């Protein structure tokens, strides 16, 4: 009788674990994060939707409708839209087209998996043809209801395609809010201090560790190795710069998540 109960409980726990893994891996959530800045007038707000590390994950129309309800002023896609050297582009292109219907300005920087694509130039051109602003070590300005903001973005730093000097060429850091996009958060350790002139750096790449454990957090993140310091969430860096790392949507290597649900993030940049 006792063993029957023990086996039944064990079976229930295994089933519950499997259900949790499926939910965390296949059913993403929307996380809201507030970043305060004196560079916006008090009471003004810019809403940035960060999407990252999709890795070919199919997203439902229902999820896109939820993103529309967030009413972002711009969308930052921080790399790894697709995953695989010979993967077709159609799914990723459809997803970017859908995001373009949510916000006029959709900005994109490459991740390490994007650089594995055999037809890389065709891939980038397809994004540009769909109205996506590809920041290939470049900068731009975006008009928002709270005023103009600066945005610079680097190619993937994990695969050493980045150039901070090139991205910062022509950028004048002034009273405008300055957003910096880099797939790999370790851009902050690549030896160019100009990244710290940004008010906010948005990154992905880590997947939040993808598999996490209670009390320990992430065991591993690419580029950082075991027990990474910068795994997910908001960090304050030098000169007041803040770094936000989104856990992202898809998976890599191991096709599951644990204690780390797939996500996109709405960052509310609030004047103070």
User: What are 8-50's pLDDT values in tens digits?
Assistant: 555 545 555 666 778 898 899 999 999 999 999 999 999 999 9
Give the sheet arrangement for strand 29-37, strand by strand: 29-37, 263-271, 45-51, 74-77, 106-108, 133-134
List the single range of 14-18, 67-71, 111-115 with lowest mean pLDDT: 14-18
CA–CA distance, 78 with 140 (Å, rounded to integer): 15
**Residue-level pLDDT at 216:** 86
Q: Are strands 138-144 and 147-153 parallel, antiparallel or unpaired?
A: antiparallel
Decide yes or no: CATH 3.60.21.10 for domain 28-271. yes
Residues 208, 168: Cα–Cα separation, whole Å? 28
Q: Which of 203, 269, 194 is nearest to 239 (CA)?
A: 194
pLDDT at 18: 63
Q: Among 65-69, 133-137, 216-220, 243-247, name the one with the lowest average pLDDT.
A: 216-220
Is the torsion defined by CA of 34, 39, 44, 47 positive or negative? negative
In the chain, DSSP assigns E strands to 29-37, 45-51, 74-77, 106-108, 133-134, 138-144, 147-153, 178-181, 200-203, 212-213, 217-218, 220-221, 225-226, 233-236, 242-245, 263-271
CA atoms of 266 and 45, how far apart (whole Å): 12
- The average confidence (pLDDT) of the chain is 92
Distance CA 133, CA 20 (A): 36
Residues in the chain: 272
pLDDT of amino acid 84: 87
């Amino acid at each position: 009788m006792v063993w029957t109960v023990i086996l039944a409980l064990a079976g229930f726990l295994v089933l519950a674990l499997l259900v949790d893994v499926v939910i965390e891996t296949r059913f993403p959530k929307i996380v809201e994060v507030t970043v305060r800045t004196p560079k916006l007038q008090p009471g003004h707000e810019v809403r940035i939707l960060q999407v990252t590390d999709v890795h070919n994950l199919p997203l439902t129309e229902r999820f896109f409708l939820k993103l529309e309800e967030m009413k972002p002023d711009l969308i930052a896609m921080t790399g790894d839209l697709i995953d695989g050297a010979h993967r077709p582009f159609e799914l990723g292109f459809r997803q970017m087209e859908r995001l373009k219907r949510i916000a006029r300005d959709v900005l994109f920087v490459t991740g390490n998996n994007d650089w594995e694509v055999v037809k890389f130039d065709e891939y980038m051109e397809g994004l540009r043809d769909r109205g996506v602003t590809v920041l290939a070590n470049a900068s731009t300005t975006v008009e928002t209801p709270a005023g103009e903001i600066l945005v610079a973005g680097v190619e993937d730093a994990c695969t050493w395609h980045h150039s901070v000097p090139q991205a910062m060429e022509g950028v004048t850091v002034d009273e405008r809010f300055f957003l910096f996009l880099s797939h790999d958060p370790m851009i902050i350790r690549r030896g160019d201090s100009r990244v710290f002139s940004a008010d906010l750096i948005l990154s992905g790449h880590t997947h939040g560790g993808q598999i996490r454990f209670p009390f320990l957090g992430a065991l591993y993140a690419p580029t950082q190795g075991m027990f990474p310091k910068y795994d997910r969430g908001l960090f304050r860096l030098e000169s007041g710069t803040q770094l936000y790392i989104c856990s992202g949507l898809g998976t890599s290597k191991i096709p599951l998540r644990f204690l780390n649900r797939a996500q996109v993030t709405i960052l509310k940049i609030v004047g103070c």
